[in-house]
Structure 1
Amino acid sequence: MKYFKFLGFSGTLLTLILDQLSKQVVLSWFLSGNHQIEVTSFFNIILAANRGVSFGLFAAGSSSEVWALIAVAGCISFLLGLWIWQADSKFSSICFGLVLGGALGNVIDRFFYGAVIDFLDFHAFGYHWYTFNIADCGIVIGAVLLVCQMLFSIKTDNNNEA
């Protein structure tokens, strides 16, 4: 069981480090006067500041609103840490770790910049996806895998009853 905790918090640390390092590289690039990087015909690296939560919802305009978002994210992060601590499988512990690492990465941004630094920009066929970062990737991947685990577990449980 302690091994699960180690895996979860290692996932948290890895996601957090990759997120913060990537943001520092991007910030350094753009603050040096450079412009967006066209990586492919459908992917650019740009600099964006998200003052809201997912997809820019609930954008914080004042410093008190930023602190409110930090407080909410801090509470959620605390709960995620508890879930890692109580995880009953390696898989769920790692998934919770990815989500926690992403949440903490975005909290750090809000604390230092008042907004989340986003830079991954995908577009195709005239459609543009929301700009995001490595922290967001950790959150989405961890959450999707947890949902898949839950659906798989429900399916297995139903098969055992039949």
Structure 2
Amino acid sequence: MKPKYSILAAVSALVLVLDQWSKLYIDKSMTLHSSYPVIEGFFNITYLRNKGAAFGILASSSYRLPFFLLVSSIAVIVILVAVSKMRDDQTWNVASLSLIFSGALGNMIDRVRLGEVIDFLDVHWKGHHWPAFNIADSAICVGVFILAVDMLLEERREKKNPPTPDAH
């Protein structure tokens, strides 16, 4: 197996197992809307369900489920195609896309299984709460961040070492 596919498989398996296990654990051990402080005044484990996307977008829309499943499916396919076209030395790109891939898949599994996504990570500061999220959401955000940083670094590398024109 090529290194890029090993990275994709390993990262995706790890994130999917952690994401699905944590959601199942929260669902079985907590009641909906219950909350436990982890770091007082900053971080709680709070069991919520989100029918929408980030910040509850489209939560009340009648076409939300087909729309989210379609978008997730397209993202998964596009990422698989992108990884297949990457060079083996593009490990950071592959790792970041693997995080995005597994996050999209993790939330897609919830939508197929439950019609909504289980969220439970609740960050807040002085009464201001960030919308609750989960491991899949975290993987997507970290993946996008790593991809952006790697793209900026690649741009710098290309400016320092511009490709040499072919001598004919």
Scaled by the length of structure 1, the TM-score of the pair is 0.90
Aligned to 2:119: 118
Structure whose residues are more often helix by fraction:
1
* TM alignment of 1:88-103, pairs within 5 A: 88=87, 89-103=90-104
Aligned to 2:3: 3
Contact conserved, 1:43 with 1:122, CA < 8 A, in 2?
Answer: yes
Contact conserved, 1:51 with 1:114, CA < 8 A, in 2?
Answer: yes
Identity of aligned residues (%): 33
Deviates further, 51-60 or 6-15: 51-60
Aligned to 2:165: none
Look up the equivalent residue of 2:95 and give its one-letter code: I
Look up the equivalent residue of 1:19 and give its one-letter code: D
Gap regions ≥5 residues in structure 1: none
Deviations, residues 26-64 of structure 1 (Å, cap 9, x unaligned): 001124x893211111111111111111222122543x4
SS of match in other structure, 2:45: strand
Q: Matched residues in 1 for 2:73 and 2:156: separation?
A: 34
Contact conserved, 2:33 with 2:47, CA < 8 A, in 1?
Answer: no
Deviations, residues 61-115 of structure 1 (Å, cap 9, x unaligned): 43x4312211121111111122222222122111111110000000001111111
Aligned to 1:35: 34
Look up the equivalent residue of 1:7 and give its one-letter code: I
Gap regions ≥5 residues in structure 2: 163-168
Q: Matched residues in 2 for 1:13 and 1:71: separation?
A: 22
Q: CA RMSD in A?
A: 1.8
Aligned to 2:58: 58
Aligned to 1:17: 17
Aligned to 1:130: 131
Aligned to 1:48: 48
Aligned to 2:78: 79
Q: Matched residues in 2 for 1:53 and 1:159: separation?
A: 40
Contact conserved, 1:50 with 1:56, CA < 8 A, in 2?
Answer: yes
Look up the equivalent residue of 1:109 and give its one-letter code: D
- Please tell me whether Structure 1 or Structure 2 has the larger radius of gyration of its CA atoms: 2
Contact conserved, 1:9 with 1:84, CA < 8 A, in 2?
Answer: no
Inter-CA distance 49–12: structure 2 relative to 1 (3 Å threshold): same
Q: Matched residues in 2 for 1:18 and 1:86: separation?
A: 28
Contact conserved, 2:48 with 2:118, CA < 8 A, in 1?
Answer: yes
Look up the equivalent residue of 1:56 and give its one-letter code: G
The alignment of Structure 1 onto Structure 2 pairs a total of residues equal to 159
Shift of 1:129: 0.8
Scaled by the length of structure 2, the TM-score of the pair is 0.87
Deviant stretches of 4+, over 6 Å: none
Q: Matched residues in 1 for 2:64 and 2:132: separation?
A: 22
